[in-house]
Structure 1
């Protein structure tokens, strides 16, 4: 199964790939998101190691049960060949109504079919007041006219 855009990436196709990933994650649909990864995909997410689509689905299901009202923005940092580096920020609240903002970097490696076969993520988060939130679009895809990370200085 091909998942365009395919490597090798140029700037336009890398930006498109990043936006497609952001859109997928903002759907908060673990099954849909997992389809963007190869069946043998390997992840490092903070201190957790995940391998394969089944584990990816389970990981994302747990994540979005804990992280309510999740909204994410990704931005291209660098690209070359079959690799893309991104930076991101997301906001969410827990089941007690406490808000958080997480910042991170991801390194992605794709197979020839455009499926991500490796994802290495480093993430830090901190509590924020609800009044400090920056990501206010309705749940789902970030509108095209909503500012990106650079606008907020993240």
Structure 2
């Protein structure tokens, strides 16, 4: 196993894929672009909405800009399916703009992993829905991961 390896490693079963999904959620909720980029292969390819990226440097730049404009970002991911070196995820995240408008973004991601457990490919389809602050469902300390007792997407009816 390389020093960069990110267990669990493929092939994934439901239990190991669930661990991988939660690790990704926790990393994104930390909003640290360098930490997040370390989970991807150096030449990782992304499609995020209509943006296409290749490599960690582009991922870091993308995430830096994202979290500069998406304030109080909180994300929940949920395993949808897994097979071999692939994981499908559904997710939702809440954030607000500089103007104070809250949004909930809904999406699906398809991930493919290298043998060392780093993500080689990420395809994300995402839709934003404007919400009122009173409609927010994701409530936890913004400086950390979602607490274990906070409901997931299915529990919240999303």
1:118 is displaced (CA, Å) by 0.1
1:146 paired with 2:119, answer: no
- State the distance in 2 between where 1:82 and 1:133 align: 34
1:126 is displaced (CA, Å) by 1.0
Partner of 1:25: 28
1:104 paired with 2:129, answer: no
Could you state the TM-score of these two structures normalised by the residue count of structure 1?
0.99
- State the distance in 2 between where 1:58 and 1:153 align: 33
Structure 1 unpaired stretches of 5+: none
Please identify runs of 4+ aligned residues in structure 1 that moved more than 3 A.
none
1:17 is displaced (CA, Å) by 0.1
1:131 is displaced (CA, Å) by 0.1
Structure 2 unpaired stretches of 5+: none
1:153 is displaced (CA, Å) by 1.3
Aligned residue-pair number:
154
Could you state the TM-score of these two structures normalised by the residue count of structure 2?
0.97
Q: Secondary structure at the match of 1:73?
A: strand
RMSD: 0.4
